[in-house]
Structure 1
Amino acid sequence: MTQALSLNPRTTALVMIDLQHGIVSRPIAPHAGAQVVANAKTLADALRAKGGTVVWVRVLLNDLLAMPADAPTRAPDAPAAPAIASELVPEIGAQDGDVVVSKRQWGAFYGTDLEQQLRRRGIDTIVIGGIATNFGVESTARAAFDQGFKLVFVEDATSALNEEMHRFTFEKLFRHMGHVRSTQEALAALA
């Protein structure tokens, strides 16, 4: 049974991960990039209208930490990404009062001012989504959880490299870290 959820807009931040040109257009599942972006915009508009905080996180693709790995996410000899690849897509409808965080690794807390931005605003709850579920979103969520933030994972405002990775993370991990809700359920919790 799903627990009733109520979100105080003044202490809640929407944190959306990597909704940028170089990532949104990639093949992902189970939700298309355009759907994730549309749901993120709907959530951002609703939370912003109620006085909440909206945070857009982008990864600087050419500065992304690359460590030796059996299956690297980027080939060592890959050409540099064009500058626009690291820019947020305009369809999210970012506003002047929104916070934009630039990161250089999967998680949005390490080496950025994200925690300071949230704490200064009195944020105790993070509504989170973005691309990819088990890379940037999961890494950011784990750090937020470790720092004592309450978490709401928006399933249809998040997507992964494939459906299996997405489902596993939502069913086996996120349910233990916070609340899993749809965009509509998250919007209803703000009412």
Structure 2
Amino acid sequence: MEIKKFTEEDILELARTAYETGSASFEIVPHKCVLLVIDMQDEFVKPGWTVFWVPEATRQVPKIKSLIEFCRSKSMPIIYTAFASTYHFLDCPKTGDFMPNRYPQLSLTNSSWFKEGKIWHGLKPQQSDIVIYKPSYGAFYDTPLETILKYLEKDTVIICGALTNFCCGTTARQAYERGFKVVFGSDVTSTDDPSLQETELKVLRKGFAKVLSMSEIMEALR
């Protein structure tokens, strides 16, 4: 039996199709889902307050609020995450201080940032919701998130929030590697550079998540 040989053009076409139009084949089962609202906190959402403000995240607040309310109407657990000073920042990856996303050229000294992990008032959690404070990008790193999901007997996470290519994308990858199904909101996640949004969505679409718009997520949950 002759084994088919793939040309460079074949490989490129396969990859491009998966990046641009691929779709994970799992079904979305509503009672097995949890909504993760990633880092919609003042540092990223409050206009102009920090250098880390994500303007698109601010604009998406009404849509994310609608998604939260819809999921809540389906009795779906809502889990918020936020950066906060969990252990005087001693549980953060130590190499973080070397990264250019800290903007060392600005000599930032505002010590009030990322202390409380306060969720933006327009998306205020209810008493029945869960808020997880995390020390790094991914919501599974040094947090009880995996334990909580297993306790709730949920196998699917729906991700919205900020930033698409940092905390949201890292959380999607971590969830995938732990065997969870991932649904990633294409228009309820945002980046500080909008030109990178689709690039990250392509990578997630090919290998980590089912990428859907908010309306598609709601339709699947109906």
TM-score range, shorter chain: 0.7 to 0.9
Who is 1:87 aligned against?
118
Who is 2:187 aligned against?
156
For the Cα contact (< 8 Å) 2:172–2:209, is it kept in 1? no
C-alpha change, 1:74 and 1:101, in structure 2 (3 Å) is farther
How far residue 173 of structure 1 moved from its aligned partner, in angstroms, is 3.0
How far residue 48 of structure 1 moved from its aligned partner, in angstroms, is 1.5
Q: For the residues of structure 1 that align with 2:166 and 2:112, how far apart are their CA atoms?
A: 19
For the Cα contact (< 8 Å) 2:37–2:81, is it kept in 1? yes
For the Cα contact (< 8 Å) 1:28–1:159, is it kept in 2? yes
Identity of aligned residues (%): 25
C-alpha change, 1:84 and 1:140, in structure 2 (3 Å) is same
Q: Please state if 1:124 is matched with 2:155.
A: yes
Gap regions ≥5 residues in structure 2: 1-20, 47-51
Who is 2:40 aligned against?
19
Max radius of gyration: which structure?
Answer: 2
Who is 1:75 aligned against?
104
Residues 162-171 or 78-87, more deviating: 78-87
Q: Which runs of 4+ in 1 moved over 4 A?
A: 1-6, 82-85
Residues 173-182 or 8-17, more deviating: 173-182
TM-score, structure 2 length as denominator? 0.75
Superposed CA offset, 1:87-142 (max 9, x none): 00121142111111000111111111111111100110111021111111111111
Q: For the residues of structure 1 that align with 2:101 and 2:189, how far apart are their CA atoms?
A: 22
For the Cα contact (< 8 Å) 2:162–2:189, is it kept in 1? yes
C-alpha change, 1:143 and 1:37, in structure 2 (3 Å) is same
Matches within 5 A, 1:1-191: 7-25=28-46, 26-28=52-54, 32-60=56-84, 63=89, 64-67=92-95, 68-69=97-98, 71-75=100-104, 77-79=107-109, 80-82=111-113, 86-191=117-222
- Superposition RMSD in Å: 2.5
How far residue 24 of structure 1 moved from its aligned partner, in angstroms, is 1.3
Gap regions ≥5 residues in structure 1: none
Q: For the residues of structure 2 that align with 1:23 and 1:96, how far apart are their CA atoms?
A: 23
Superposed CA offset, 1:147-190 (max 9, x none): 01101110111001112221110013334212111111111111
Q: For the residues of structure 1 that align with 2:116 and 2:188, how far apart are their CA atoms?
A: 20
Q: For the residues of structure 2 that align with 1:115 and 1:105, how far apart are their CA atoms?
A: 15
1:12 corresponds to which letter in structure 2?
C
For the Cα contact (< 8 Å) 1:20–1:85, is it kept in 2? no
Q: For the residues of structure 2 that align with 1:93 and 1:99, how far apart are their CA atoms?
A: 11
How far residue 14 of structure 1 moved from its aligned partner, in angstroms, is 0.6
Q: For the residues of structure 1 that align with 2:54 and 2:101, how far apart are their CA atoms?
A: 18
Residues 109-118 or 85-94, more deviating: 85-94
C-alpha change, 1:185 and 1:155, in structure 2 (3 Å) is same
TM-score, structure 1 length as denominator? 0.87
Q: For the residues of structure 1 that align with 2:63 and 2:26, how far apart are their CA atoms?
A: 19
